[in-house]
Structure formats: C-alpha cells, structure tokens
Structure 1
Amino acid sequence: MSRIPTHTLADAPAASQPLLQKIVEATPGGRPANLHAQMAHSPAVLTAYTSLRAALTKHASFDPKVGAALTLAAASGVGNDYMIRIASRIAGMNGWTEQQIAALATDSPTTDAKTDALASLVREAATNAGNVSDAAWETARQAGWSVGQLADAFAYLGATIFTATFLNFAQTDPDL
C-alpha cells in the first residue's frame, strides 16, 4: 500500500501544480502516473525529479535511444520492478525491440555492442552504489565512449536511482 497520497492536478499542492500540469500534457494518457502524482505531494521532490529529467533532455550527449538503454540498465541494477517497467516502456518508445529490451534488462548482448558496454557499466554502478570495476570502465572506453560520455552516463544513473528510490520509499502502486 502506498505511503504517500496520490494527487490529481486539482488537489496537488499549489507549488506542484505547474510541474504536474507539464507532466500531464506530456503523458499519452492525459493524467500523471502514480509516481508523479505521489511526487507532487512534495514540491521539492517533484522539482528535483523534473529538473533531473530536464537536464538530461537539454544537456546529455546521448541520443534518446542510448539514454533509454542507460535508464533501463540502471533500473535493472536497482531492481525496482515499477522502474523497470517504466524504463522498458521508454526503451520501446525509443526504438529498442522487445528482444533488445529483455537483453538490456538482463545484461545480455543486444545488436549494439557499443551501447551494451556502456549499459553494463551503468548497471554495475546501479548495483554497487556507484562503484564500478576498472575492467567495466575500460570496456566502455574501448567500445568508443569518451570520459565525458561516461560522466554523462552518470546523469542517467542518478535520475533513475532517484526515481527508483522514491518508488521504494513511497511504496508506489504500479500503474503501467
């Protein structure tokens, strides 16, 4: 059972309403997902979440397909089922096939070895509180990722961990 109230746009705290409105406008169903509706209970949480997402959209060096792979890899490393469903859906919307989504979620090879190396690094970081082996780092570098891109990958890791940790903390009921 959820620990935090799930808000509608009408009953969310006033400071959360503009952010929640933007989420509603960008959501195919025209309503916020449970995670957003619960985050809205705290304007600070919803602001932090939307700021992380905006930073990824505006500043990350990856195309949306690679970003979706990193989000899914991080979600599978954290192990929150709701976050994995969200990330899988995003991956599908960004061009990953069902087979590739399953591979990304289980650290198996897709048809994109370069992205696989980076996704494995992110998954390892998610599993180990940010710690990664030198071998995983070097594998990603040898696959062609720059140190700047490896740093950018951390932004996807951070945004996913923030979201998944909130889902665990709030015991959000899955709605996807």
Structure 2
Amino acid sequence: MTTINVPTRDQVSPANQALFDTLKQGLGMVPNLYATLALSEHALGNYLAFQNAKSSLNGKAREVVNLVVSQVNNCQYCLSAHTVIGGMVGFKPEQILEIRRGGASFDAKLDALAKLVKNIATERGHADPARVQAFFDAGWTQENLVDTIVVIGDKTVTNYLHGTTKVPVDFPAAPALTN
C-alpha cells in the first residue's frame, strides 16, 4: 500500500509555501490535512478560498454542519478538528456529542439544521422534503439552505481526503460516540 506523506513547507510549491506561512501565522500550525492538500499545486488555495467564502451561516451553524457531516462520513480527522473548533465557538462538550448524533435539543433552530444535514449527508443529497420544510419552519431561509449545502460539500472534500490518505490526526482525538 502506498503511504501518503504529509509534505513539509520545503516540499511544496512557492505558492503553497506562502499559504503555509499564512496558516502558521493564523493557526500556529499547518494542519496535516491542509498540508496534504498542498501536494497539488492548486488544491490548498482553492480549498481555503472555498472554506473561507462568505456565507449566510454563522460560525456555530457552520460547525453544526461540519460535525454532522464528519460523523456521517466517519472522518476522525475532521471530527477531532471540529470538536476543538466547536468548543471555540461556544459549544459545550455534551452539545458537540449531541450535534454529532444529528440533533441539538438545546436550540430548536440548530436542531432543525442538524437533522436536515444528517438527512442530506446520509441520503447523498436526496433530502426528505419534510426535513427541508422543518428547516424552513425553524426560521432558516432559502439562502441558508444553499449555503448549508455548500458547507456540506466543503466538509465532504476534507472527509474524503482524510478517508483516502489516512494522514495522521494532529488534533486531540474526538471522543467516541456512545448511544
């Protein structure tokens, strides 16, 4: 089996080296999954532009999407990273676990989002119309729906990249879900 090695700054293109420098300045590190994207001349820059694009979803809503999709796709890297980020945006550890299960009983609007995202992710984009209606009934808009699907796509990219490359997780391990 071919091992995918996480490249160092010296092993990537000058354009990607500049992105590494920006990431290190902002995050204090270059996460392994981002570094792996730099194996491509264009993937890291394209992904960062996609991930950091303007959205009608706030940070908490984006983390709900990230956590639910990463759980559906069983991506240990993204679950670990977004458990940390979820805490940074204000979710408590027990709330993060609930979100990963596809709900958020502590907030009706986020609950509708989590349930819809889980449905979209498990059904590979073929959402149950009742879930979509419940999302709208909770106060979300059509713009929010489109932006939710964009964030699902964003997270699916990194979930699939880790699922395929199995690069080392460089965040504290996300706790296992128990039912």
Give the structure-2-normalised TM-score.
0.88
How do 1:106-117 residues align onto structure 2 when only pairs under 5 Å count? Answer: 106-117=101-112
Q: How many residue pairs get matched?
A: 171
Q: Which runs of 5+ in 2 are unaligned?
A: 172-179
Alignment check: 8 A CA contact 2:9 2:17 kept: yes
Aligned equivalents of 1:148, 1:2: Cα separation in 2: 42
Residue from 126, 142, 164 that aligns with 2:159: 164
1:146 aligns with 2:144: no
Amino acid across the alignment from 1:114: K
TM-score (norm 1): 0.89
Q: Is residue 2:69 matched to residue 1:74?
A: yes
The residue correspondences of 1:95-134 to structure 2 (distance < 5 A) are 95-134=90-129
Query: In 2, are the aligned partners of 1:12 and 1:40 still within 8 Å (CA)?
Result: yes
| Residue of structure 2 equivalent to 1:24 | 24
CA distance in 2 between counterparts of 1:63 and 1:142 reads: 19
Alignment-derived partner of residue 60 in structure 2: 65
Question: Which residue does the alignment assign to 1:40?
Answer: 38
Deviations 1:75-95 (A, max 9, x none): 112221211111211111100
Asked if 1:13 is matched to 2:28, the reply is: no
Please tell me whether the aligned partners of residues 114 and 144 of structure 1 are also in contact (alpha carbons under 8 angstroms): yes
- Cα distance in 1 for partners of 2:125, 2:31 equals 28
Tell me the equivalent position of 2:89. Answer: 94
Could you tell me whether the CA contact under 8 Å between 1:16 and 1:43 is conserved in 2?
Answer: yes
Contact 1:5 / 1:41 at 8 angstroms: preserved in 2?
A: no
Partners of 1:53 and 1:96 lie apart in 2 by: 21
- Separation in 1, partners of 2:105, 2:3: 38
What percentage of aligned pairs have identical amino acids? 27
State the SS of the aligned residue for 1:15. helix
Question: 1:6 is aligned with what amino acid?
Answer: V
Q: Which runs of 5+ in 1 are unaligned?
A: none
